[in-house]
Amino acid sequence: MFNLKFLALLFLALNINLSHASVVTVKIEDADIFNWEPIQKIKPGFGSNGPVSLNWDPNNDLFTELLAYDRGYSGGAGAFCWYGENCALQLSVTAENTVLQLNSFALGYYGYGNNVQYSVIDLATQTSILQDSPWIDGAISTLIPVNASSNKGFMILFGPDGFNGGINNITYSYLSAQPGVPVPTPIPAAVWLFGFGLAGILGFPRS
């Protein structure tokens, strides 16, 4: 996993052009599709931005693909799946020299409330970086902070009870870099710039 601030500083020191998108929040209610419709089939890649692609049916599976519903999930819209287990949403990096940051997502519940299990898998390592089974209140959605970065992307899985549990408000950003025109900067100066910036991130203790 990567730290976006650290990478931004490194890219600047090495004279690499940066492209940093604004934070993107994907809301099911913005998909403009009917209830019970499969998001990926009706609006392929809904929520994608720049070099980040979203797939609402990464397993190509009728039972785990995400369907839209415009109300009732903790008072709002949500995406759910038929089978209710391992409901899947994948965010993929589609360009080289790009780092995706998954900030957060929200879980809602259709009904009084229940525990909904979830996990977040880093596609670069194929390992789970976050998992829990929190109580999801039927009146107020629960924000799940992730704050993780990957150069490949993430898979979000939730369920069992991913039929009554739903996902919404997926928030992410990305950092892309392309080599720029070389600038004849003396090595000591470049190293100084890198070290000074790094120190700024880490912070010096006061004497």
Structural domains of the chain, ranges and CATH numbers in brackets: 21-181 (2.60.120)
pTM of the model: 0.79
What sign does the CA torsion over 161, 162, 167, 172 have? positive
Q: Cα–Cα distances in Å, from 43 out to 12, 34, 54, 121?
A: 37, 11, 11, 24
Question: Which pLDDT belongs to residue 195?
Answer: 41
pLDDT in tens, 152-180: 999 999 998 899 999 999 999 999 986 55
Q: Is the pLDDT confidence value at 207 over 50?
A: no
Q: Is the pLDDT confidence value at 183 over 50?
A: no
C-alpha–C-alpha distance, residues 36 and 70, integer Å? 9
Helix axes 4-13, 187-202, angle to 10 degrees: 160
C-alpha–C-alpha distance, residues 31 and 66, integer Å? 12
